Amino acid sequence: MPVLLNPDRAPTLSELLKAIPGGLVINTVPGIGQWQNPVIAGVGSLANAGSNEISFIVHPKYLDQLASTQACAVIVLPEIEEKLSVSPEPIKFSRIVCKHPYLLYARIAQWFDWAKQPARELSIHPTAVVDPSAVIARSVTIGPYAVIGPRCKIDEMAQIGAGCVIGADVAIGASSLLHPRVTIYEGVKIGMRAIIHSGAVLGADGFGFAPDPSLAKGAWGKIPQLGSLLIGNDVEIGANTTVDRGALENTILEDGVKLDNQIMIGHNCKIGAHTAMAACVGVAGSTTIGSRCTIGGAAMVSGHLTIGDDVHVSGGTAVTANVSKPGRYTGVFPFSEHADWQKNAAVLQQLSSLRKRLRVLERDSEN
Amino acid sequence: MPVLLNPDRAPTLSELLKAIPGGLVINTVPGIGQWQNPVIAGVGSLANAGSNEISFIVHPKYLDQLASTQACAVIVLPEIEEKLSVSPEPIKFSRIVCKHPYLLYARIAQWFDWAKQPARELSIHPTAVVDPSAVIARSVTIGPYAVIGPRCKIDEMAQIGAGCVIGADVAIGASSLLHPRVTIYEGVKIGMRAIIHSGAVLGADGFGFAPDPSLAKGAWGKIPQLGSLLIGNDVEIGANTTVDRGALENTILEDGVKLDNQIMIGHNCKIGAHTAMAACVGVAGSTTIGSRCTIGGAAMVSGHLTIGDDVHVSGGTAVTANVSKPGRYTGVFPFSEHADWQKNAAVLQQLSSLRKRLRVLERDSEN
Amino acid sequence: MPVLLNPDRAPTLSELLKAIPGGLVINTVPGIGQWQNPVIAGVGSLANAGSNEISFIVHPKYLDQLASTQACAVIVLPEIEEKLSVSPEPIKFSRIVCKHPYLLYARIAQWFDWAKQPARELSIHPTAVVDPSAVIARSVTIGPYAVIGPRCKIDEMAQIGAGCVIGADVAIGASSLLHPRVTIYEGVKIGMRAIIHSGAVLGADGFGFAPDPSLAKGAWGKIPQLGSLLIGNDVEIGANTTVDRGALENTILEDGVKLDNQIMIGHNCKIGAHTAMAACVGVAGSTTIGSRCTIGGAAMVSGHLTIGDDVHVSGGTAVTANVSKPGRYTGVFPFSEHADWQKNAAVLQQLSSLRKRLRVLERDSEN
């Protein structure tokens, strides 16, 4: 990976660990020579880290990579340190012993991400069009060509990227970050520390129509979408994801919800706290999903369902009925070489008759 | 739901019903006291409507909710009014008897949506870049930072949102509404009363390539997409939906087509009048879909197919062959607990041999 | 199709063929009268070409259309020309004999696409916000309201559409074309001759979170996405497609990759040269796909997989395991009338027990 910090700005290992909150580190085992307390300029994978980078190992199956890593320091599980400590050969790199290496790695990466930021200049770009009735906190940054509608309220330290369009009466909480080209329809409320990626569209009309034969045979009359969209704190929303406003009630994303790119959340949905969805998921309207669920990529959830807490849906699965029991749920057609698939798929259309034929044989054999 | 109109602007029930076209109301049964002809400030669901809101009931299974609703007026089916009329207890709320409560609700919601609009100021924002050769009708609204290309024609009452980019030679019909950040490529024609949501991209190049080994082994040469995209009247297109221009002929969306968010329509497709598609649907190139079809969410339709009129595709279904007969079509792998899925999916790969084994047993038993 | 060039700018057939590189033409058989060497004003399908347009036939099954075409010249396979040359009736149109009619058609269409372009005015629109530290080549075009960040490098003949937002330290190669409203996050590198369609978001954060119970039960801590996105030469990326930056390493699209609309490529993926993906495909993070693969529309590929070269995945297929052997792979649930599906899908949940019952019968019959 690219070295992130110049050597003169990079911390030593002990300085770095002091800056990381959380008491995750059990102990540190110094490396050899210059790597006793090395200067850490960045983070890298075992295979690719340079000699001024820190890395991590989460499973013994990567011990081979550990043996050849160039990293000057490695976060290790206690059981791996046990093995290393009795290694016949000396270990060059420093080891940081930790029961949750991935979490510690995440926090160290967060620190580097923060450290490489330039000092922020708080400002509204002169080309931004901000309605005079909007209430903008003193530390907000608004990028070029952003448009902020009437009566918006944007709180301290929020950042609005270039080309964002924010409708009337929108509220954006403190320290929230809108990347460029986000669109927010009128009346949407977003909590603190949100991260919204480019191309996301929040609060567009839900898909609501009533058959209206008075217009034409088969024609649809639009049902205005009069609800709004409420988003809690610490929510992240991926690029080009869309979350629609409610029809009568509000669509709701609770605290800590994480949505990847290209996701669609229909009107009136309620997504529980800390539920995470991978890319390309679709949730149809009026469905309630519980807290701490994970929805795998390209899964779809039908409308008007209730999914409980702690439900885990595999990628590519179509959830078409309520799920109350926590656990993992799957429904994916296995892939295979095309010719094999053709043979087996043909039988799929005869399953019902196959079962009948089997029943006939069973009855025969019982007699 | 939020109360939509201040009491001084809100109509009485009789005023409201007079304003709704269509002769849908069979009769009105007045409520008790102040609710004989109540002031209606908004629309709400049975469970959540406030005492100055109108609600509706579409099925007897919601009678429990009806019993406890706070709504001052409720749209009811004739068969429900029959039950209410013989209720031993007095019914407080007014009833509007109607054979199509959902349609009447939709029209009332449309009325409120219209009534809450501020008087429109017709104008071109000073920051909009409008090519001097574009023909803009006198009542058009163009938002900040919109860009309108040469020779565009934008008709009466059309609204172009902030940050929209409209290429050369585009036509947009009267009363059409483009929400912010819509992109329209050159030459696209859009009819009257369209609603296009943010992030939609209309008329981008179709995906057309020919193998060109003269460039490199396996390389693709681009086939220019010389057709355009024609969109009829009364079409709605959802947020971040993409409809590509044609390769040689035009891509066509006929009158009244309704597309939800995150939909992809490939080049050369023709979508018939009043066909509606839920979110995340993909239609591959050169496919023709008839009129009055519905395509469920996340369904996909292969390319070069012909789907007839009045075909209804379930969500999540892959349509891989022509469909001429009206009706409902489905192909979704049922989901289940992961362990059950694993057991059953393993057998899927052996279906063909299972059928053979069954045939052997049948032959044995015949002998 | 629309006639593309005015007759005074349109070439004769022989002029046109001289302008097309590649030695694809075996020979030309002149038509009759004015169609011996006709003026060609455009390209059309057999069924719709006008009398001043060229068309092509790729398969004998279209001979009926050929018989009635109005085209003044047709690209034909040698075996079709053999049949035409012994036709009892005279053939009016000129024939261009060629072993790869589709490729020749593509190149002719490219020529017309180029010929209809107005002479380009090279310029930076006065409303574009270009950071003074950006290095912009002299022949670059930048549209209205584009925003170009610090230290960007944009090479000769590149075109940046209206409303594009390009972050810091981005490089864009010569002759690349960004349609309006593309977003590129900081540090992304794009090669030469790229075509990026509207709404694409390149280099947004990958979806990386670590469980962080110190925040709340079930909460997720963000893992900063410190890698970047590297894109080779001759890559095309469709409308509203998203390609995420890497977590530690870079996400990579090699030369000649073609991505249709609404595609999602997760962080750390590596897509090999000349691999093409149809619309709505999702590739989860850290997956490597080889060269010259094709991925059908709405297919999904799980994360952390390795797919070899020359692998072809059918549309709608979920690839959930490594694939090393070239060939075609499929896994799609066949669709059928809904009632048939219901009957057969019910049995799906019993496949494992069905197999057991069959085994019991087989054992019985063996005894």
Q: What is the mean pLDDT of each run of 10 residues along chain A (367 residues)?
A: 68 89 86 91 88 90 90 94 89 93 86 69 86 93 96 94 97 96 98 97 96 86 94 97 95 98 98 98 98 98 98 97 97 95 89 87 80
pLDDT band at B122 (very low <50, low <70, confident <90, very high): low
Q: What is the pLDDT along chain C (367 residues), one digit of tens a residue?
A: 454 677 777 899 999 998 887 678 999 999 998 889 999 998 888 988 889 999 999 888 888 899 999 999 999 999 999 999 898 888 999 999 999 888 888 888 878 877 776 555 558 999 999 999 999 998 899 999 999 999 999 998 899 999 999 999 999 999 999 999 999 999 999 999 999 999 999 999 999 999 988 778 899 999 999 999 999 999 999 999 999 999 989 999 999 999 999 999 999 999 999 999 999 999 999 999 999 999 999 999 999 999 999 999 999 999 999 999 999 999 999 999 999 999 999 888 888 888 888 888 888 887 7
Cα–Cα distances in angstroms (integers) from residue A135 to residues A152, A188, B327, in the given order? 6, 15, 54
Q: Per the residue annotation, which of A267, A304, A312, A338 is the catalytic one?
A: A267
Q: From the list B208, B332, B351, which residue is nearest C333 (CB)?
A: B332
In whole angstroms, what is the distance from residue C263 CA to residue B221 CA?
20
In whole angstroms, what is the distance from residue C330 CA to residue B56 CA?
47
pLDDT 10s digits, B318-352: 999 999 999 999 999 999 999 999 999 988 888 88
User: Which pLDDT score is estimated for B274?
Assistant: 98
Question: In C, which residues are within 8 Å of A179 by CB distance?
Answer: 183, 185, 204
In whole angstroms, what is the distance from residue B349 CA to residue A68 CA?
41
SS3 C307: strand
Flag whether pLDDT at B183 surpasses 90.
yes
Question: In A, which residues are within 8 Å of B127 by CB distance?
Answer: 127, 129
In whole angstroms, what is the distance from residue B23 CA to residue C235 CA?
58
Q: What is the mean pLDDT of chain B?
A: 92
Strands B336-337, A327-330: pairing is antiparallel
User: Which pLDDT score is estimated for C363?
Assistant: 86
CA distance C86 to chain B (A): 31
Averaged pLDDT for residues B132-146: 94
pLDDT 10s digits, A203-245: 999 999 999 887 788 999 999 899 999 999 999 999 999 999 9
Alpha-carbon Rg for chain C in angstroms = 27
pLDDT 10s digits, C59-101: 888 888 999 999 999 999 999 999 998 988 889 999 999 998 8
User: Which pLDDT score is estimated for C58?
Assistant: 84
> Which tops the pLDDT comparison, A8 or B77?
B77
Tokens of C111: 């020529």
Q: Per the residue annotation, which of C197, C267, C312, C338 is the catalytic one?
A: C267
List strands edge to edge, sheet with C153-154.
C135-136, C153-154, C171-172, C189-190, C229-231, C251-253, C270-271, C288-289, C306-307
Instruction: Evaluate the CA torsion angle B57, B62, B63, B67 in order and state its sign.
Output: negative
Share of chain B above pLDDT 70, in %: 96
In whole angstroms, what is the distance from residue A282 CA to residue C280 CA?
12
Size of interface A-B (CB pairs under 8 A): 242
In chain A, the residue whose alpha carbon lies closest to the alpha carbon of B104 is A210
Which residue's entry shows tokens 């994916």?
A332
Q: Which of A133, A145, A147 to mutate to test the interface with B (most CBs of B within 10 A)?
A: A147
In whole angstroms, what is the distance from residue B135 CA to residue C310 CA?
51
pLDDT 10s digits, B262-278: 999 999 999 999 999 99
Task: For residue A271, list its beta bridge partners.
Answer: A253, A289
In whole angstroms, what is the distance from residue C271 CA to residue C231 CA?
10
What A298-303 contacts at long range (C-beta under 8 Å, 24+ apart), as own/partner pairs, is A298/C282, A298/C300, A298/C318, A300/B280, A300/B297, A300/B298, A300/B315, A300/B316, A302/B297, A302/B315, A303/A266, A303/B297
Question: In A, which residues are within 8 Å of B276 by CB distance?
Answer: 209, 220
Flag whether pLDDT at B105 surpasses 50.
yes
Question: In A, which residues are within 8 Å of B102 by CB distance?
Answer: 210
Amino acid at site C196: I
Q: From the list C248, C329, C334, which residue is nearest A1 (CB)?
A: C248
Q: From the list A274, A335, A361, which residue is nearest C320 (CB)?
A: A335
User: Which pLDDT score is estimated for A342?
Assistant: 93
User: Which pLDDT score is estimated for B1?
Assistant: 45
CA distance B88 to chain A (A): 32
Amino acid at site C75: I
pLDDT band at B117 (very low <50, low <70, confident <90, very high): low
Task: For residue B318, list its beta bridge partners.
Answer: B300
Q: From the list B2, B110, B351, which residue is nearest A222 (CB)?
A: B110
